[in-house]
Amino acid sequence: MSHHMGDRSGFPLIGDKFPSMEVKTTHGMIKLPDAYSGKWLVLFSHPGDFTPVCTTEFVAFQKMRSDFDKLNCELIGLSVDQVFAHMKWTQWIKENLKVEITFPIIADDLGKVAMRLGMIHPGKGANTVRAVFIIDPEATIRLILFYPQEIGRNMGEIIRALEALQVVDKNKVTTPANWPNNDFLGDQVIVPPPADEKAAAGRKTGDGMVCEDWWFCHKKL
């Protein structure tokens, strides 16, 4: 699915391998995605340092760092700012909000990484959108979220999506809307539909599986 990545004017899609690059960060030079091999990674961009919404987001990401750790997931931020601005900003957050930012922030001062990942906000100069990429341990992009500058992200949804992706991979199932709090199914998961008529005809409720019809079966993990 990576055929279009040869065109650097495009940006990666779900199912693509995350493009290889070396980035300057507040923790030094980091090779992406190699440095996070075997781990999940949430890479997120923000419009700029010393902005109110971004500040609340960084504090929220940091306060949920242990939740990401439990899911074997690392965090890395990005904006089109110099590393010195990142360092001064995180210092301000620590001194004034009493929260120490422990994950690295990419200093994309020339905007090359943001351009390559499609993060530049149309009509807003060099500012990046609030993008979120969830990348799996094999460096495959599994989820992409884009928010406008005016709306702060919901960290709980990012955690929920990350957890759902891991459940899907481990159990070969799918998850319903608002999982694990679906109005109809609760925390149950959906069993993929049968691939042919013979399998459909033989599908029955049992072994913990409940079928509303041959194409709609669910179970509790």
Contacts of 43 (CB under 8 A, 6+ apart): 32, 76, 77, 78, 132, 133, 135
Residues annotated as catalytic are 54
SS3 letters across the chain: CCHHHHCCCCCCCCCCECCCEEEEECCEEEEECHHHCCCEEEEEECCCCCCHHHHHHHHHHHHCHHHHHHCCEEEEEEECCCHHHHHHHHHHHHHHHCCCCCCCEEECCCCHHHHHCCCECCCCCCCECEEEEEECCCCEEEEEEEECCCCCCCHHHHHHHHHHHHHHHHHCCECCCCCCCECCCECCEEECCCCCHHHHHHCCCECCEEEEECCEEEECC
